[in-house]
């Protein structure tokens, strides 16, 4: 099974600043999808951004962008102009194109946003 590693259990950022959350994964496949999910204290899982492995262009969603390095098997999330509402657990996830939609999640990074 593919493994997803988030090496930063906790991160902190000041409001309006930029923060980058790291994610690496292990796979022998060439075609797959990568995701970042946000889980605020409400426990709801919210999709932040997604990336197809065959696309070289990094995905962007408003203040959220990724740095996808396929050869290095790295998929970091950059949050620009951080807001208090960005405080949450962030999970990186991998899905094989061929495995029936199962997601493999990392252990998560807790993001604290300070005023």
Q: Which two tokens stand for residue 88?
A: 């949450």
- Six token digits for residue 107: 């252990």
One residue of 23, 104, 111, 113 binding other proteins per CB under 8 A: 104
| Stretch of residues binding other proteins (CB under 8 A), selected from 22-30, 62-70, 74-82, 106-114 | 106-114
> Cβ of residue 6: shortest distance to other proteins, in angstroms?
8
Neighbours of 31 (CB within 10 A): 11
Q: What is the distance between the alpha carbons of residues 52 and 31, in angstroms, rounded to a whole number?
A: 8
Residue 78 in the binding site for other proteins (CB under 8 A): no
Beta bridge partners of 32: 96
**Interacting residues with other proteins (CB under 8 A):** 1, 4, 33, 35, 42-45, 47, 50-52, 91, 97-98, 100-108
């Amino acid at each position: 099974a593919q493994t997803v590693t988030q090496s930063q259990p906790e991160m902190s950022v000041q409001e309006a600043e930029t923060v980058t959350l790291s994610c690496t994964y292990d796979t022998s496949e060439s075609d797959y999808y990568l995701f970042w999910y946000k889980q605020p204290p409400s426990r709801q899982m919210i999709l932040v951004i997604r990336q197809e492995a065959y696309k070289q262009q990094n995905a962007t969603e408003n203040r959220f962008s990724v740095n996808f390095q396929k050869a290095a098997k790295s998929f970091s999330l950059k949050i620009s102009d951080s807001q208090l509402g960005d405080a949450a657990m962030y999970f990186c996830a991998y899905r094989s194109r061929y495995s029936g939609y199962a997601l493999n999640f990392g252990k998560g990074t807790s993001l604290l946003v300070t005023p």
